[in-house]
């Protein structure tokens, strides 16, 4: 599997962990599997990818776990904040990771994975039971893409956050107190959060991989 990784690899740790028959990482390998974890992105927005290998003489990659970490800073801390995780296929936005799992993206506003108050959040978006390319191919097929594994091509993962600033909260309060809008409050909150994320560029591509070889 050819990987095209983002420029910032913050840390790499090689360790050993048990892999059992009922493990989310795959089958029964009768002992231990080798794992290697690497962080990609920045200190505030990053992805930790854990490669999981079997314990054979020639270890083979059997799964990959991915956790997204988002750590808002500055004015966003303590404010209503939306956290986003997206996936692109062949450099086109294809899906969002949400509170109920992966959803196909077509157009319009992004759906966040969670809404909080500007604190740090972590989301495990791939559980390690498959490689990244296998998991993406399965999601594409289940969501109507109809691609086989080799047809996925390049895959990009994005993460970011946006918050509703105090002045926008004041605007919302006035609108709803005066009954000057029929837009649901949550929708308007997400509109302001996404707009702020795009304007402040508090998002980035955290990982990219070439799945055209079918791994």
pLDDT tier, 56 (very low <50, low <70, confident <90, very high otherwise): confident
- For the beta carbon of residue 17, count every other beta carbon within 10 angstroms: 12
Tokens 């956050």, residue located: 161
Residue 3, pLDDT > 70, answer no
Higher pLDDT, 80 or 28: 80
Residue 61, pLDDT > 70, answer yes
23 vs 32: CA distance, rounded Å: 11
Instruction: Kindly state the tokens that stand for 215.
Output: 């791994």
Higher pLDDT, 2 or 167: 167
Task: State the pLDDT at residue 190.
Answer: 97
Task: State the pLDDT at residue 146.
Answer: 41
72 vs 143: CA distance, rounded Å: 31
Tokens 């105090």, residue located: 166
Name the residue ranges covered by the structural domains of the chain: 9-210
CA-nearest of 15, 36, 33, 11 to 24 is: 33
Task: State the pLDDT at residue 142.
Answer: 65
Residue 28, pLDDT > 60, answer no
Listed range (45-49, 69-73, 137-141) with the worst mean pLDDT: 137-141
Residue 66, pLDDT > 90, answer yes
Dihedral angle computed from the Cα positions of residues 24, 26, 30 and 34, in that order, rounded to the nearest 10 degrees: -80
Q: What average pLDDT does this structure show over 184-203?
A: 96
Task: State the pLDDT at residue 143.
Answer: 58
pLDDT, tens digit, 9 for 90 and up, residues 75-119? 999 999 999 999 998 888 989 999 999 998 888 999 999 999 989
The H or E element spanning position 87 is strand 81-89
- CB of 51 within 8 A of CB of 207? no
Averaged pLDDT score across all residues of the chain: 82
Task: State the pLDDT at residue 34.
Answer: 86
- For the beta carbon of residue 209, count every other beta carbon within 10 angstroms: 22
Higher pLDDT, 20 or 119: 119
pLDDT tier, 16 (very low <50, low <70, confident <90, very high otherwise): very low
Q: What average pLDDT does this structure show over 148-157?
A: 71
Question: Under 8 Å CB-to-CB from 149, ≥6 apart: which residues?
Answer: 133, 134, 137, 211, 214
Instruction: Kindly state the tokens that stand for 211.
Output: 């799945």
């Amino acid at each position: 599997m050819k990987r095209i990784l983002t420029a910032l690899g913050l840390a790499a740790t090689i360790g050993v962990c048990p892999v059992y028959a009922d493990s989310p990482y795959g089958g029964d390998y009768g002992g231990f599997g080798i794992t290697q974890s690497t962080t990609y992105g920045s200190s505030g927005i990053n992805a930790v990818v854990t490669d999981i290998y079997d314990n054979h003489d020639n270890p083979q990659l059997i799964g990959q776990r991915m956790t997204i970490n988002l750590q808002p800073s500055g004015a966003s801390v303590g404010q209503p904040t939306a956290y986003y995780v997206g996936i692109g296929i062949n450099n086109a936005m294809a899906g969002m990771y949400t509170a109920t799992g992966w959803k196909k993206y077509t157009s319009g506003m992004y759906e966040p994975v969670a809404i909080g108050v500007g604190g740090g959040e972590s989301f495990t978006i791939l559980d390690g039971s498959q490689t990244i390319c296998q998991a993406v191919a399965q999601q594409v097929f289940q969501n109507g893409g109809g691609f086989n594994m080799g047809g996925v091509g390049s895959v990009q993962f994005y993460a970011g956050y946006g918050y509703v600033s105090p002045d926008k909260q004041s605007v919302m309060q006035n609108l709803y107190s005066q009954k000057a809008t029929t837009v649901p409050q949550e929708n308007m909150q997400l509109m302001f959060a996404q707009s702020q994320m795009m304007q402040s560029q508090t998002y980035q591509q955290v990982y990219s991989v070439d799945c055209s070889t079918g791994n």
